């Protein structure tokens, strides 16, 4: 019987934790790795692979390359977002598209809350002022408070579910726009379903937690920003292209909204020339929401766990294409 093979296509040995090759080998898995830059590199390393593993931003798991991987049963993306993978093609081919959101939901929900306070309480402007002189403190008043605000959540996966629990003490009302979230989940979390227009018009804070898909690309554009309250703030810790940046610039220029907290941008890395950088009422971070003192190690461990689960004939802990009919029969694992 051919040994189960896993190929990590965007790391070199010095970037892989020492324990990873040994743990995979102990599970009977043939593990190969290389920083693939082209389709030729990919096929040289992984043409006979059973699991294709992407840790970073590699974009070789596309509609052109996936059909060439005749023995591949799964594509793993270490992280939450799978927008670098052609999920539709993988599903058509019977490949399970795996991610590791459990490594990041705690940190991203923390980061989203931090951005809410940083924007709402004007933290950066106050910090700058406090380092110079205190002659016009009243310019920052009145300051925003979080208690009993209405928070609109676009998407209701693990991250916003954590956010709901963490913010419960502030007694907010939560509105959720997520066509795929079952009513039972919303009821258990004590949140209320809303259509997108209602969520935007009623929320004091709009926080984006949806994956980037064809349907969510530029989900928040000029029409949507105009529906928001003039004193509302917009938070994005998901994917940059969910927001149309030119529309957001216009919204900030014309005071349609009060401010924004952004960890992600349409084009990354962004630069100082990005028109958004001219505004004092936004707070930006460099796509670091998912990182914590534990998240990197946990991402590796969950990725290795997924490889071993697949090798043993089990569905992994998390995968995004629930309608897939796998090339190789898989069982649900009791955890």
| Catalytic residue annotation | 239, 268, 287
Nearest to 243, CA basis, from 274, 272, 198, 204: 274
Round to whole Å and give the CA distance between 149 and 203.
Answer: 8
Neighbours of 86 (CB within 10 A): 21
Q: What kind and span of H or E run contains 151?
A: strand 150-154
Contact indicator for 197, 227 with CB cutoff of 8 Å:
yes
Tell me the two tokens of residue 145.
Answer: 């408070």
Round to whole Å and give the CA distance between 262 and 260.
Answer: 6
User: Tokens 């928040």 — which residue?
Assistant: 220
Q: How far is CA 226 from CA 193, 200, 221, 223, 257, in A?
A: 21, 9, 9, 5, 8
Contact indicator for 76, 303 with CB cutoff of 8 Å:
yes
Q: Which residues contact residue 272 at a Cβ distance below 8 angstroms, ignoring those fewer than 6 apart?
A: none
Contact indicator for 175, 199 with CB cutoff of 8 Å:
yes
Q: Which residues contact residue 92 at a Cβ distance below 8 angstroms, ignoring those fewer than 6 apart?
A: none
Of the chain, the end-to-end C-alpha distance in Å amounts to: 28
Total residue count of the chain as it appears in this document: 335
Contact indicator for 56, 32 with CB cutoff of 8 Å:
no
Round to whole Å and give the CA distance between 297 and 306.
Answer: 14
């Amino acid at each position: 019987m051919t040994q189960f093979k896993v190929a990590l296509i965007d790391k070199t040995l010095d970037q892989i934790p020492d324990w990873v090759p040994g743990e995979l080998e102990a599970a009977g898995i043939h593990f190969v790795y290389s920083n693939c830059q082209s389709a030729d590199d990919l096929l040289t390393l992984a043409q006979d692979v059973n699991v294709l593993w992407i840790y970073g931003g590699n974009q070789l798991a596309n509609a052109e390359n996936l059909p060439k991987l005749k023995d591949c049963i799964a594509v793993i993306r270490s992280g939450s977002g799978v927008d670098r993978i052609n999920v539709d093609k993988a599903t058509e081919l019977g490949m399970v598209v795996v991610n590791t959101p459990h490594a990041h939901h705690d940190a991203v929900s923390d980061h989203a809350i931090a951005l809410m306070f940083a924007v709402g309480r004007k933290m950066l402007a106050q910090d700058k002022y406090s380092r110079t002189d205190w002659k016009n403190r009243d310019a920052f008043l009145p300051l925003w408070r979080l208690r009993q605000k209405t928070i609109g959540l676009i998407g209701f996966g693990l991250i916003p579910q954590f956010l709901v629990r963490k913010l419960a003490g502030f007694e907010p009302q939560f509105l959720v726009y997520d066509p795929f979230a079952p009513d039972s989940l919303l009821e258990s979390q004590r949140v209320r379903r809303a259509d997108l227009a209602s969520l935007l018009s009623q929320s004091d804070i709009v926080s984006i937690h949806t994956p980037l898909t064809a349907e969510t690309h530029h989900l928040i554009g000029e029409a949507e920003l105009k529906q928001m309250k003039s004193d509302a703030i917009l938070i994005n810790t998901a994917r940059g292209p969910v927001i149309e940046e030119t529309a957001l610039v216009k919204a900030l220029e014309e005071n349609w909204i009060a401010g924004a907290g952004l960890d992600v941008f349409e084009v990354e890395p962004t630069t100082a020339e990005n028109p958004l950088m001219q505004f004092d009422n936004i707070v930006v971070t460099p796509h670091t929401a998912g990182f914590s003192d534990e998240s990197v190690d946990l991402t590796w461990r969950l990725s290795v766990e997924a490889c071993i689960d697949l090798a043993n004939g089990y569905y992994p802990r998390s995968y995004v294409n629930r309608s897939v009919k796998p090339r190789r029969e898989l069982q649900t694992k009791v955890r």
